[in-house]
């Protein structure tokens, strides 16, 4: 943790095209900016941060950039403050919020560009109706939670839970 | 170690330690006892009282009462004045007082007192007209500090005392904790004056309250008849002797001019060489303590600077919200309307008698690099680019 503070990794801005997220705390006055680059497979190929905040915040953001590089945005979004050891959980949560905001920025842009010919159910993590149907049928899934676990659909904002429920009811 | 946090506490001076040593071993006894060792303790206490009275310029040694710390002195002065005149329910103080005064006055608001909170301008200075206007027949107490602990800005207590006494019958209490030992004290218009030993090279755990003759003050600690019956509790003889020695040292071996030169050099160089540095508190150095510089490094975090300096063996403090136990940025800087992003990056450098030319040179050789590194990491990159 102390090494990540004194020698933070991945400081700066990700290369263009990048997706940017911010978070700030009115309690402690800290401010973080996270920027990510995402490849065609929705994996984070580069993660960078800037921060004005305490040593724990800097260390959290630095740790997080290392942790999420190579993960899909859906997997990166599941990382919580509890997964960053040795730092104040409040600071870790603030860094994580900036990461989520960057993932959201990517999702929003990708959704606008969605060119698939199938219906998109989970707009947070781009899971199509066909994928969800395939997962349900091949694995015999019966609940939304199982679907989310299987293919990330519904892991974001939750607005598609109703749609997933309906697909489950139809099959 | 380079210690630039003398407003937080100071190293016990070797002269003070020498004076205290016998009273931590060879000499012991209760100063209230009638036997020879007790009388020796009593004599030591009265010797120290003379030293304190002399440094403060008190007319009579009996106006000095020993307490356990500056906060006790402040609490006693305020509560004691209010208890002695229970019909009066109005207090005047400032938004930039030390917590010992500010938090007590907040508490008193819940206990039925009305408090007028005087603000300060962006230089940290008081508007004396608003003080004059706030005084009322039912004002029991005016409590205003001499030197601000964070910025070092001085309030003109002589002038303030004159205004208080010409326009009201209120008692005038001054929190002098941060000033004693650093500047000459003038008690001409002051009724009560709090001081603390550890800010001037005495140990922690000893303070004093000056109570002008004729000012009526109810006791805070009830018990035995120590301190002329005004403050109960067995006297902390070694600490009292230490405070006396520290006061003598401050009076006789005064090197404020040297400390001030070091402070000026540090301040000038930082403001000149660091693009996002700005001074907090008036630029008029005659209105500030000679040892204090409060500088904001805009758009970077003060706690980060503190940690990097600490790693280099340099001790400072910060007004950044995160670092404080209350998670609030410095109330003093807020009252001065210092922008939040600057208050977050504030660092207080407070020098003392043991600082050397080399301390300042080393600090100046390290600090700009640390600030530049943090600025390069800041999410306020657009704002910082404008400053260059």
Candidate from A22, A50, A55 with C-beta closest to B378 = A50
Measured CA to CA, the distance from residue B19 to residue B27 in angstroms comes to 12
Contact B322 A58 (CB under 8 A): no
Q: Per mean pLDDT, which range of A1-15, A91-105, B323-337 is the poorest?
A: B323-337
Please give the Cα distance from B146 to B196 (Å, whole number): 13
Tokens in use for A166?
A: 């309906």
- Indicate whether A78 pLDDT > 90: no
Beta pairing, strands B139-143 & B114-118? unpaired
On chain B, the residues whose CB falls within 8 A of the CB of A53 are 301, 304, 322
Contacts of A32 in chain B (CB under 8 A): 379
Average pLDDT over residues A127-147: 91
In angstroms, the separation between the Cα of residue A118 and the nearest Cα of chain B is 39
A135: helix, strand or coil: helix
A5 to chain B, any CB pair closer than 8 A? The answer is yes
Residues 89-128 of A with CB under 8 A from B: none
On average, the pLDDT of chain A sits at 90
Find, among B4, B6, B27, B28, the residue nearest to B246 by Cα: B6
Kindly provide the ipTM of the predicted complex, given to two decimals: 0.82
Of residues A113 and A87, more confidence is placed in A87
Contacts of B292 (CB under 8 A, 6+ apart): B7, B147, B151, B152, B263, B281, B348, B349, B350, B351
pLDDT score of B192: 98
| B107 at interface of A, judged by CB pairs closer than 8 A | no
Chain B residue with CA closest to A23: the answer is: B379
Where does chain B show beta strands of DSSP type E? Answer: 2-3, 64-67, 90-94, 114-118, 139-143, 171-175, 192-196, 207-211, 277-280, 292-297, 314-315, 317-318, 346-350
Integer angstrom CA distances of residue A141 from A38, A133, A152, A164, B224 = 30, 10, 13, 11, 80
What Rg, from alpha-carbon coordinates, does chain A have? 17
Largest distance between two CA atoms of chain B = 75
Task: Provide the number of CB pairs (under 8 Å) joining chain A to chain B.
Answer: 58
Give the model confidence (pLDDT) of B242-289 as tens digits.
999 999 999 997 788 999 999 999 999 999 999 999 999 999 999 999
Per-residue pLDDT band for A108 (boundaries 50, 70, 90) equals confident
Regarding predicted confidence, which is higher, A123 or B131?
Answer: B131
Query: Residue B63: its pLDDT value, please?
Result: 98
pLDDT of residue A85: 86
- Cβ pair B377:A8 closer than 8 A: yes
State the Cα–Cα distance between residues B202 and B197, nearest whole angstrom.
Answer: 5
Cα–Cα distance, B22 to B41 (Å, whole number): 11
Helices (H) and strands (E) in chain A, counts: 7, 5
pLDDT at B326: 57
**Do the Cβ atoms of B340 and A29 come within 8 Å?**
yes
ω into B359 cis (within 30 of 0): no
A29 and B322: CB-CB below 8 Å?
Answer: yes
Q: Is A1 on the interface with B (CB under 8 A)?
A: no
Low-confidence ranges of chain B (pLDDT < 50): none
pTM (2 decimals)?
A: 0.90
Of B388, B270, B278, B257, whose CA–CA distance to B333 is shortest?
B278
Interface contact flag, B322 A6, Cβ < 8 Å: no
Per the CB < 8 Å rule, is A11 touching B377?
yes
Secondary element (H or E) of residue B261 = helix B256-273
Of the candidates B45, B48, B47, B29, which has an alpha carbon nearest to the alpha carbon of residue B37? B29
Q: Is A58 on the interface with B (CB under 8 A)?
A: yes
């Amino acid at each position: 943790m102390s090494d990540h503070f004194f020698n933070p990794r991945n400081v700066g801005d990700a290369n263009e095209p990048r997706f940017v997220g911010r978070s700030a705390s009115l309690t402690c006055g800290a401010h973080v900016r996270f920027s990510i680059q995402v490849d065609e497979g929705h994996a984070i190929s580069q993660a960078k941060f800037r921060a004005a905040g305490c040593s724990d915040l800097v260390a959290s953001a630095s740790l997080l950039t290392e942790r999420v590089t190579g993960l899909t945005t859906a997997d990166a979004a599941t990382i919580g403050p509890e997964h960053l050891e040795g730092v104040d959980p409040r600071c870790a949560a603030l860094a994580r919020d900036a990461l989520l905001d960057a993932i959201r920025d990517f999702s929003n842009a990708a959704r606008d560009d969605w060119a698939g010919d199938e219906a998109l159910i989970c707009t947070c993590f781009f899971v199509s109706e066909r994928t969800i149907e395939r997962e349900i049928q091949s694995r015999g899934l019966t609940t939304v939670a199982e679907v989310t676990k299987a293919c990330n659909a519904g892991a974001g904002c939750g607005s598609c839970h109703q749609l997933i429920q309906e697909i489950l009811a139809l099959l | 170690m380079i210690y630039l946090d003398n407003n937080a506490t100071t190293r016990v001076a070797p002269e003070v330690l020498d004076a205290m040593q016998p009273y931590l071993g060879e000499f012991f006894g209760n100063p209230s006892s009638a036997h020879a060792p007790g009388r020796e303790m009593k004599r030591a206490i009265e010797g120290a009282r003379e030293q304190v009275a002399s440094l403060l310029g008190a007319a009579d040694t009996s106006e000095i009462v020993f307490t356990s710390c500056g906060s006790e002195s402040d609490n006693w002065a305020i509560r004691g004045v209010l208890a002695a005149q229970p019909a009066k329910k109005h207090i005047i103080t400032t938004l930039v007082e030390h917590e010992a005064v500010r938090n007590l006055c907040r508490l008193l608001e819940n206990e039925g007192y009305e408090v007028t909170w005087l603000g300060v301008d962006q230089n940290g200075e008081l508007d004396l007209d608003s003080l004059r206007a706030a005084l009322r027949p039912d004002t029991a107490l005016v409590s205003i500090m001499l030197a601000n602990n964070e910025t070092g800005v001085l309030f003109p207590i002589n002038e303030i005392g004159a205004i208080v006494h010409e326009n009201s019958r209120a008692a005038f209490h001054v929190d002098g904790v941060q000033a004693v030992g650093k500047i000459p004290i003038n008690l001409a218009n002051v009724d009560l004056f709090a001081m603390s030993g550890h800010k001037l090279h005495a140990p922690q755990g000893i303070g004093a309250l000056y109570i002008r003759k004729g000012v009526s003050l109810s006791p805070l600690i009830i018990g035995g008849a120590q301190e002329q019956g005004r403050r109960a509790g067995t006297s902390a003889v070694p600490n009292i002797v230490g405070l006396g020695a520290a006061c003598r040292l401050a009076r006789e071996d005064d090197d404020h001019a040297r400390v001030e030169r070091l402070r000026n050099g540090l301040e000038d160089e930082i403001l000149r060489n660091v693009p996002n540095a700005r001074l907090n508190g008036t630029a008029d150095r005659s209105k500030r303590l000679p040892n204090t510089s409060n500088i904001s490094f805009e758009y970077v975090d003060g706690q980060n600077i503190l940690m990097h300096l600490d790693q280099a063996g340099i001790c400072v403090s910060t007004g950044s919200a995160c670092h404080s136990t209350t998670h609030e940025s410095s109330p003093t800087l807020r009252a001065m309307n210092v922008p939040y992003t600057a208050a977050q990056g504030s660092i207080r450098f407070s020098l003392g008698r043991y600082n050397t030319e080399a301390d300042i040179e080393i600090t100046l050789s390290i600090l700009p690099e640390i600030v530049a590194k943090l600025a390069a990491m800041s999410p306020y990159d657009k704002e910082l680019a404008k400053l260059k």
